[in-house]
Copies of this chain bind each other. A is one copy, B any other.
Amino acid sequence: MADQIREEESHGITVEAPAVLRSEPSRPATRAEEIAAALEDEIVQGELAPGQRLDEQVLGKRFRVSRTPVREALRLLGASGLVTLEPRLGAIVARPTVSEIFDLFELVGEMEAVAARLACERMGDADRERIMATHDACRVAGRSGDAEAYIERNDAFHAAIHIASENRALRDQIQLLNKRLAPYRRFITFRPERKQAAEQEHEVLARALLKGDADAAARAMKEHVKMLAEDAFVLARSLRL
């Protein structure tokens, strides 16, 4: 499963996809953290499906390390809710129940709404710029067919709001929740109808934000996430998931 083809790269430039949302000044980092980051990426990107078994020895071979750092990586991911660890049974990619997914969507909606309200009250010029810029980028990417690019810009738009909220803890929590929901959001975000609807919702949201209407922004955000969640559930049902 794509074990060897990892180092070499066609350009000579190692791709290193995300890089955008790196928080710390990238301290040395231990093997365990590297592995955790790699696995997290694969889970979020949907390469590792929920329910997938994560065997310590197999992963150890794959990353060319012993079981020890692998274990630590799995514990790390377990604590953030991305994988489920059952004592004596091992680790699997987290597979929340429908009810749990519902709760997570509701929670992230509420927290995004809080972020939107705070952003309204606190944003400076730089924040306003960033929100407008990312919103525009979102719109552009929406018209082109590139779903991956759209997802990235959509995240950037939301991130701009989180930053403007001036509360790091809030931002971290939302991003963590989004990671946990990523496998389920992906399904729906790829659909063209959803992108169009999202665009409109973003429009309302951006307008409220720039106008400084905190209540309207919070309401728009909650509605936005609610729509996403509902579509996700409808789609999931139609796919018998």
Residues on A close to B: CB < 8 A?
A: 27-30, 33, 71-72, 75-76, 78-80, 87-88, 100, 103-104, 106-107, 110-111, 114, 167-170, 173, 177
Contact = CB atoms under 8 A, between A and B. Distances in A.
Integer count of this chain's copies in the complex? 2
Contact of A103 (B27, B30, B79, B170): B170
Contact of A106 (B30, B78, B107, B167): B167
B169 A100 contact: yes
B28 A103 contact: no
Contact of A87 (B30, B104, B107): B30
Contact of A28 (B76, B87, B111): B87
A189 to B, nearest CB: 21
Shortest 9 CB-CB distances between A and B: which pairs?
Answer: A79-B79, A103-B169, A110-B114, A107-B169, A103-B167, A75-B75, A30-B87, A107-B170, A104-B169
Contacts of A106: 167, 169-170
